[in-house]
Amino acid sequence: MVFHRVAPAGVGRSYLPNVFDVAALLLVIGVMVLIAYGARATAQPLTVLDVAPMTLDPWHLPEYALRTTLRMLMAIVWSLIFTFVYATLAAKSRKAEIVLIPILDVLQSVPILGFLTFTVVFFMGLFPGQILGAELASVFAIFTSQAWNMTFSMYQSLRSVPKDLEEASQSFHLSTWQRFWTLDVPFAMPGLVWNTMMSMSGGWFFVVASEAITVGDTTVTLPGIGSWVALAIKEQNLGAVGLAVLTMLVIIVAYDQLLFRPIVAWADKFRFEQTASADQPTSWLLDLFRRTRALRAVSGAIAGQFGRVAGLRLPSFGLPSFGRGLPIPGRIVDTLWLVIVGLGTAWVAWEVYVFVGASLGLADVAEAVGKGFITLVRVVVLMALATVVWVPIGVWVGLRPKIAEKVQPLAQFLAAFPANIAFPVAVVLIVHFKLSADVWLSPLMILGTQWYILFNVIAGTTAFPSDLKEAAQSFHLTGWRWWKNVILPGIFPYYVTGAITASGGSWNASIVAEVASWGDTKLTATGLGSYIAQATEAGDFPRVVLGIAVMSIFVTLFNRLLWRPLYAFGETRLRLG
Three-state SS letters, 448-486: CCCHHHHHHHHHHHHHCCHHHHHHHHHCCCCHHHHHHHH
Q: Is the pTM of this model over 0.85?
A: no
Chain centre to alpha carbon of residue 283: 23
Burial class (CB in 10 A: 0-12, 13-18, 19+), 52: exposed
Query: Do 132 and 43 meet the contact criterion of CB atoms below 8 Å apart?
Result: yes
**Closest of 166, 176, 198, 172 to residue 272, by C-alpha:** 166
Helix ranges (H only) for 291-361 are 294-310, 328-357
The helix (run of H) or strand (run of E) holding residue 249 is: helix 238-255
- Are residues 260 and 332 located together in one domain of the fold? no
Residue 288 falls inside a structural domain: no
Domain total for the chain? 2
Chain centre to alpha carbon of residue 362: 36
| Distance, CA of 243 to CA of 241 (rounded, Å) | 5
Residue 278 falls inside a structural domain: no
Helix ranges (H only) for 514-563 are 528-538, 541-558
The helix (run of H) or strand (run of E) holding residue 375 is: helix 362-398
The number of helix segments (H) and strand segments (E) in the chain equals: 29, 4
| Distance, CA of 197 to CA of 65 (rounded, Å) | 18
Residue 314 falls inside a structural domain: no
Handedness of CA 218, 222, 223, 228 (dihedral sign): negative
Count of Cβ atoms closer than 10 Å to residue 254 Cβ: 13
480 forms beta bridges with none
524 forms beta bridges with 515
CA separation (Å) from 487 to 202, 269, 495, 501?
A: 27, 21, 11, 21
| Distance, CA of 188 to CA of 562 (rounded, Å) | 24
Residue 47 falls inside a structural domain: yes
Strands 218-221 and 212-215: antiparallel
Per-residue model confidence (pLDDT) at position 417: 67
Residue 121 falls inside a structural domain: yes
**Domain interval for residue 333:** 324-358
- Are residues 333 and 300 located together in one domain of the fold? no
462: CATH? 1.10.3720.10
| Distance, CA of 160 to CA of 463 (rounded, Å) | 13
CA dihedral 376→378→383→384, nearest 10 degrees, is 110
- Are residues 454 and 430 located together in one domain of the fold? yes
CA dihedral 316→317→321→325, nearest 10 degrees, is 60
- Are residues 255 and 348 located together in one domain of the fold? no
Rounded mean pLDDT for each run of 10 residues along the chain, 577 residues in total: 46 67 85 82 76 81 90 92 92 81 75 65 80 86 86 86 81 84 87 83 74 67 86 82 86 85 81 58 82 83 80 62 46 69 78 81 90 92 92 89 76 68 74 81 79 86 80 83 86 86 81 73 84 81 85 84 79 60
Residue 566 falls inside a structural domain: yes
- Are residues 527 and 403 located together in one domain of the fold? yes
> Can you spell out the DSSP letters for 40-57?
HGGGSBTHHHHHS-----
- Are residues 134 and 242 located together in one domain of the fold? yes
Residue partners of 286: CB distance under 8 A and separation at least 6:
261, 262, 265, 266
- Are residues 262 and 391 located together in one domain of the fold? yes
Residue partners of 120: CB distance under 8 A and separation at least 6:
137, 213, 214, 215
| Distance, CA of 568 to CA of 321 (rounded, Å) | 16
- Are residues 47 and 143 located together in one domain of the fold? yes
- Are residues 352 and 420 located together in one domain of the fold? no
The helix (run of H) or strand (run of E) holding residue 518 is: strand 515-518
- Are residues 396 and 458 located together in one domain of the fold? yes
- Are residues 139 and 184 located together in one domain of the fold? yes
> If you compute the radius of gyration of the chain from its CA atoms, what whole number of angstroms results?
25
Per-residue model confidence (pLDDT) at position 333: 63
Q: What is the crossing angle of helices 362-398 and 541-558, to 10°?
A: 50
| Distance, CA of 420 to CA of 552 (rounded, Å) | 24
Count of Cβ atoms closer than 10 Å to residue 333 Cβ: 15
CA separation (Å) from 121 to 42, 47, 219, 381?
A: 17, 18, 12, 38
3-state secondary structure of 346: helix
Query: Do 2 and 273 meet the contact criterion of CB atoms below 8 Å apart?
Result: yes
Chain centre to alpha carbon of residue 496: 14
| Distance, CA of 26 to CA of 32 (rounded, Å) | 10
| Distance, CA of 494 to CA of 571 (rounded, Å) | 11
Query: Do 228 and 61 meet the contact criterion of CB atoms below 8 Å apart?
Result: yes
| Distance, CA of 101 to CA of 287 (rounded, Å) | 40
Residue 317 falls inside a structural domain: no
Residue 381 falls inside a structural domain: yes
Q: What percent of the chain is helix, strand and coil (3-state, nearest 5)?
A: 75, 5, 20
> Can you spell out the DSSP letters for 125-189?
HHSTTBHHHHHHHHHHHHHTTTHHHHHHHHHHHHHT--HHHHHHHHHTT--HHHHIIIIIHHHHH
Longest dimension (CA), the chain: 78
Per-residue model confidence (pLDDT) at position 324: 42
- Are residues 156 and 260 located together in one domain of the fold? yes
